[in-house]
Structures are given as C-alpha cells and as structure tokens.
Amino acid sequence: MTERPTALVTGASRGIGEAIARALGDTHHVILGGRDDNALAAVVADLPHAQTWPVELTEITEADVAGFDRIDVLVHNAGIGPLGRIEELSADVWRDTMELNVIAVAELTRLLLPALRRARGHVVCVNSGSGLRANPGWGSYAASKFALRAFADALRQEEPELRVTTVFPGRAATDMQRRVREHEGGDFEPGNYLRPESVGRAVLAAVNAGPDAHLTELTLRPSAGPVN
C-alpha cells in the first residue's frame, strides 16, 4: 500500500482551516495545528488519517517539529485580524498581527524546509482580499497580508523545487467574519459570503494540479455580498 502524503494545516480547529483539513483528509495524512487541543480533537475524530498538533505558533521551536521528516503540503492558515483606524491601533496590535500572520509563518517554514525539500513539497499561504487591497480600518491586517504575499513570492523564487501558492479568499462565513460585521455595525448573513468548504476545495485543487502545473495564485470572491 502506498504511504499517504502528509499535510500540515495551521489554524485547523475551525473555519477555513478545518475545511482545508477535511478537504485534504481523503488523500493525505493531515496534521492539524492549533491552540485548542479539544477543538482539534473534535475535527480529528472525523478524519481517519489525522493527528492533532497543539502548538503556539508565535513560540515555535525545533522541538515542536521534531519527527516531521517529510511534509508534502504545508498550509499556513492561522492568523488574526484586528480592525481599527490607524489612530486607534497601538504598536502592540501591529506587533501581534505581524507576529502571527507573518513572522510565525516564516519561522515555521524555515524549520520545515528540510522536510519540504525532501518531499519536493507544496506551501500554501491562505491570504485575504486585504492582501491585494487595503481599506480604511484594515491597516494592520492588510499590511500583514501584503507582507505574507511578499514572503510567498520570495519563497517561490528561493526554493524552485517547491510549489508555493497564495490563496486570496474574499469574505467567508466564519466566526471571524461575524466579528468583522459586528465591528462594521452590519448584519452577518452567511449566505452572502464564501463557504469555508469552497476555500478548502480551492486549496485541494492547487495541491492536486499535478507536478507539471504550478498554481501560484488563486483568488476567490463570494458570488453575493461585499467583495473586500
């Protein structure tokens, strides 16, 4: 029997990360990373080829990735999205946003490069429409997503044997989007947004594109509702 390829997904306990883990679960052994071990365990219970990986990504060390000898797919999905006008956001908010959305991504990738190179693997960065366009009140979040795009572009050129894909989802029906709508003073109507499962299928499509195809960027937008 052929051994399953291994996929590691961060922020996999809920929302888009959970949907990506489930999309990959039919064909991959999936490692689900996140802070909430109980939530991760609930997802793993439905996936016969999966394991939990409780971790604090902003404090990642070599010990946390010991034993990961081969990683075929690394999906960077974990992130935070504090909102507010520039006059309202402290330096600590900017630091926290960059720490998880960019620096933790770079460090986890660095630590896993030997395992990724061994597999001639695939790195997927789940970005945002805010990584293409900055809007008022989204300054720190958009800045982190622009930086994440730059990271992916640099990695793609530095590691030509790896595939690197940036996925730019529009607004999705997640708990984060519910909080965004509360901040904006609007209603949360799930039908107006992308389903997390649609983002999961997009990631799966990139992964399954075949060795001769390198999907460098994918942009998804909801068919109804706001597009940013």
Q: State the catalytic residues.
A: 141
Find tokens 């001639």 and name the residue. Answer: 120
Sheet-wide strand order for 122-126: 50-54, 29-34, 6-9, 73-76, 122-126, 163-169, 217-220
Angle between helices 104-119 and 139-158 (to 10 degrees): 30
DSSP 8-state symbol, 172: B
Q: What's the rounded Cα separation, in Å, for the pair 104 and 98?
A: 8
Choice between 170 and 108, residue whose per-residue pLDDT is larger: 108
The predicted model scores a pTM of 0.91
pLDDT reading at 182 higher than 90 = no
What pLDDT, on a 0 to 100 scale, did the predictor assign at position 95? 98
The domains of the chain, with CATH numbers, are 6-220 (3.40.50.720)
